[in-house]
Amino acid sequence: MKFNARLILSAACLTFSSMVFAQIPDTQYSQGISYISGGVGEEESQAILTESKQWPLLLELSQLENG
């Protein structure tokens, strides 16, 4: 029973540690407006969505590639 609890705890720690290390791109500034641009890849995309509550506007754009 203790082994199962340790295994589950280890898996949870690994899952959450990957979320902690995912970082949003640096904030850019142009004519008094601050913004971020990025979200390529699962980890960066999740990090941006997590931080989106701090921004007044979130635009999500994507493009389907041929193939």
Distance CA 45, CA 21 (A): 13
In a domain, 64, yes or no: no
Number of domains in the chain: 1
Domain limits at 35? 2-54
In a domain, 46, yes or no: yes
In a domain, 27, yes or no: yes
Q: What does the pLDDT look like over 6-63, one tens digit per residue?
A: 666 666 655 554 455 667 888 999 999 999 888 888 888 888 888 888 889 988 888 8
Q: Taking the CB of residue 47, how many other CB atoms lie within 10 A of it?
A: 20
**What pLDDT sits at residue 42?**
86
**What pLDDT sits at residue 12?**
60
* Alpha helix segments (H runs only) across the chain: 2-21, 42-51
- pLDDT-derived band at 1 (thresholds 50, 70, 90) equals low
In a domain, 67, yes or no: no
In a domain, 12, yes or no: yes
For the four alpha carbons of 37, 41, 43 and 49, in that order, the dihedral sign comes to positive
**What pLDDT sits at residue 40?**
81
In a domain, 20, yes or no: yes
Q: What is the pTM of this model?
A: 0.54
Q: Are 37 and 13 in contact (CB under 8 A)?
A: no
